[in-house]
Structure 1
Amino acid sequence: MTTILLSALRQQRCSAHSASNRPTPPFQTRAVSTLILLRHGQSQWNNPNPRFTGWVDIPLTVKGRVEAVGAGQLLRSRGFKASRVDVAFTSKLQRAHETCELALASMAGPHQHTWSSDRIRRLEGLNERHYGIVQGKKKNDPDVLNTYGNDTVRSWRRSLRGKPPPLDETHEHWMPPPAPTTESLLDCQRRVLGAFHDHIAPALFEEEGLPHHPDERAVVVVAHSNTIRSLMAAFDNVPDESVPKLHVPNSVPILYKFDTATRLPVSSKLQSAAGGSHARWLVSAENHREVRKAITGHTLIRGIFESLDIDNNRDLSAAEIDRGLREYLKEDEKLDCVTVAVAKKVAREMSPRETISLQSFEERALAAAQGLTAPHAKESYFDHDPGSMVLDEQFP
């Protein structure tokens, strides 16, 4: 499936840029456009007993609205003010649309005139995966498990091709065509990539009349877990069997930067749960606990470094590390991530005027994580992936 998705992306870029095969001179600055992916905030069916929400139009919780505002504030603090966003895409479902509105208003801050809701485009193709006859049911509903069996239900949720039986007009959540009656993850991916190919990619790379030239364009997509998972699988060339390992938390910004000539991601691949990823996650003191459930290893280390790097110069001073760690510990007094523990150790060993580079920080964090063995550490989320290990005791 990933091959199909990548093929669609390559066809999209080749049609408009026949000269992109020429090598770029080493002195030439690469033109880059930015795609910001954001899952909606917590909805009323996400917690505490989550349901198969799918296409049911469920609103955000109060927590979900706070998460959306927080995501916008985080983006603004990292240089993405609303005025930088050319267009935003979201689904037809209110939980995604409201998240989009709140995040962009937060990105605008006191300068609300810099953003207009007219630049939000709603696409049915970005709707969440349709869950057929179980749509609206709790995921641990004993009737569903007894009727279909644990293995079958697991295949619906964790495989690419498994899908629940279709619903019909007697179902309370039935919708008339063109709405689907059920979908596998594979079906959802094909629909989402169609929306990217037809609507999002043109806005990112070639549409005229937007505030910024494609060489410095930023486009936001606010959607759903399986929607964003589908896009990430395509951008990162994730093997089919690894796609279900992709986890997308609520309201955590995920950035992809594209070469506008080749229309391919430009950031180097970092280690992730589903293999290498070009994504850069915006980690913060407020969201790091959820982020650590989704990413590990090199990707997590890079995210934490960038959250501490206030002036964005790819070097950390002891003062920056100390300031950032205070924010992390303020949110979580029992913070036990190896990478953060390494940052503490580095800060203690640095002189006031000394700095540590991104490369050195990453090398030390990876070495520390790989050097930890039981009983000093346990792997918390994914097997054989350093960087997110949980310490059983304070890092020495």
Structure 2
Amino acid sequence: MLRAAARAARRRENQRSVSTLILLRHGQSKWNGADAIFSGWVDVPLTVKGRVEAVGAGQLLRERGFPAKRVDVAFTSNLQRAHETCELALASMAGAQQDTWHSDRIRRDARLNERHYGSLQGWRKADPELVQGFGSDMLLSWRRTMDAKPPPMTKEHHHYDPDAPRTETLRDCQKRVVACWETTIAPALFEEENLPTEIENRTILVAAHSNTLRMLMAYFDEVADEKVPELYVPNAVPIIYRFDPRTRKPLSRKLDTQSGGSHARWLLSPSNHAQVQEALQSGGMLTRALFESIDVERKGRLTAAEFDAGIKTLMADAEHVDCVVVGVAKKIARESVTPNCSVSLAEFEELAQAAVSELHAEEHIDYDAEHRWD
């Protein structure tokens, strides 16, 4: 009875008007990678790999029902790594129909720039001199807490920009990003007239940076300050939020996570599955989200019947969007859960890691593990 009512509610939800927000972190930049450097407001270009990632993200979006002509407006930062990602993704989303999009639809806003890291910008994150000078605990606090502020940049600094902040806390970054959402992005999504698509079915793309997108996600999902470090935003992996244009609230069912839950849906492809591996490690956001969304009775174990019912719920909720949650769930249900068995969270995490590794093994692309914080 309850499941039938839930299915009926989802069918009613599927008939609602939907405003779609696509979040996309820039492709790999020259300061990303294993030997990562604090980028902040330094205008670092994309690598060749980063450009390929941006094109791949656009192709994936087009294949999943988001051609460029569906994007009414795209917002990006003033930094070239985000702007170029935005242009490449939109061009790829257009495919052979390049006349369906134009760069005039891209709006730049400095409030979407990466968090300013003060005098740390230009330093390697693991530089022994930084560790010796400030201590690893202080460096970690600057990077992963809301109110710790790195030393301010001086005029003598190699990357000094008189128009940029001198330094920022994560909370400073969040304030300007949320202000950008409330005063600029949300009005375009929910109010602005004279755009190609009616408000009831509008789509907007935001191509930006790790911390700025993380702060938007924390805002949408009401993530507690201490849980913000658990939000992970990989390079060039599309993240989808669906909103009710009347209430301006997320429509997608919130999946329970260690960070408190998320309405986001991540798109999975052969070329980006390696980027989401970290989110599928033990304790990772997506693994726990998938397990806890199915474990409705909070028993800590799932039977085959519960798994089957949970998969059907997720697939209906995803509205045919092939997101990483549903992709992994399908594979585990098909190959790993037998009728007479049950699995714990720890066992499920192992299955999830194996599943995502095998989803597109024949098209595997090596991925250099990257620090979570840009």
* TM-score grouping bracket, smaller chain normalisation: 0.7 to 0.9
Q: CA deviation at 1:128?
A: 0.1
Q: CA deviation at 1:107?
A: 0.3
Conserved? CA contact 2:177–2:216, under 8 Å: yes
Equivalent position to 1:84, from 63, 70, 76: 70
SS at match of 2:275: helix
Equivalent position to 1:101, from 84, 87, 93: 87
Equivalent position to 2:345, from 362, 370, 374: 370
Matches within 5 A, 1:275-290: 275-290=260-275
Equivalent position to 2:53, from 51, 54, 67: 67
Instruction: Tell me whether 1:296 sits opposite 2:282 in the alignment.
Output: no
- Amino acid aligned to 1:276: G
Equivalent position to 2:335, from 334, 340, 344: 344
- Amino acid aligned to 1:136: G
Which residue does the alignment assign to 1:173? 159
SS at match of 1:277: coil
SS at match of 2:256: strand
d(CA) in 1 for partners of 2:138, 2:13 = 56
SS at match of 2:178: helix
- Amino acid aligned to 1:296: L
SS at match of 1:247: coil
Matches within 5 A, 1:200-239: 200-239=185-224
Q: CA deviation at 1:280?
A: 0.8
Distance 1:223 1:300, change over 3 A: farther
Equivalent position to 1:34, from 20, 26, 30: 20
Q: TM-score, normalising length from structure 1?
A: 0.73
Distance 1:313 1:237, change over 3 A: closer
SS at match of 1:86: strand
Conserved? CA contact 1:35–1:219, under 8 Å: yes
d(CA) in 1 for partners of 2:28, 2:144 = 21
- Amino acid aligned to 2:216: L
Conserved? CA contact 2:332–2:352, under 8 Å: no
Report the number of matched residues.
316
Q: CA deviation at 1:29?
A: 3.8
Equivalent position to 1:272, from 252, 257, 268: 257
Matches within 5 A, 1:355-394: 368=343, 370=345, 372=347, 388-389=352-353
SS at match of 2:240: strand
Q: TM-score, normalising length from structure 2?
A: 0.77
CA displacement, residues 165-203 of structure 1 (integer Å, 9 cap, x when unaligned): 1011111111113x2100111110001111111110110
- Amino acid aligned to 2:185: I
d(CA) in 2 for partners of 1:261, 1:297 = 32
d(CA) in 2 for partners of 1:27, 1:57 = 42
d(CA) in 2 for partners of 1:94, 1:207 = 27
SS at match of 1:289: coil
- Amino acid aligned to 2:72: D
Unpaired segments ≥5 residues, structure 1 = 1-25, 317-323, 326-336, 350-363, 381-386
d(CA) in 2 for partners of 1:50, 1:201 = 33
d(CA) in 2 for partners of 1:215, 1:93 = 31
CA displacement, residues 50-85 of structure 1 (integer Å, 9 cap, x when unaligned): 000000000000000000000001100100000000
CA displacement, residues 200-229 of structure 1 (integer Å, 9 cap, x when unaligned): 011000001100011000000000000000
Which residue does the alignment assign to 1:249? 234
Distance 1:248 1:74, change over 3 A: same
Q: CA deviation at 1:315?
A: 11
SS at match of 2:214: helix
Equivalent position to 2:174, from 183, 189, 198: 189
Cα RMSD for the two superposed structures: 3.1
Identity, % of aligned positions = 55
Q: CA deviation at 1:163?
A: 1.5
CA displacement, residues 251-301 of structure 1 (integer Å, 9 cap, x when unaligned): 000000110110010111012341210001111232222213133236558
- Amino acid aligned to 2:219: A
SS at match of 2:22: strand
Which residue does the alignment assign to 2:116? 130
Distance 1:118 1:369, change over 3 A: farther
Distance 1:369 1:68, change over 3 A: farther
d(CA) in 1 for partners of 2:195, 2:272 = 32
Q: CA deviation at 1:341?
A: 4.2
Distance 1:345 1:108, change over 3 A: same
Instruction: Tell me whether 1:155 sits opposite 2:145 in the alignment.
Output: no
SS at match of 2:24: strand
- Amino acid aligned to 1:189: Q
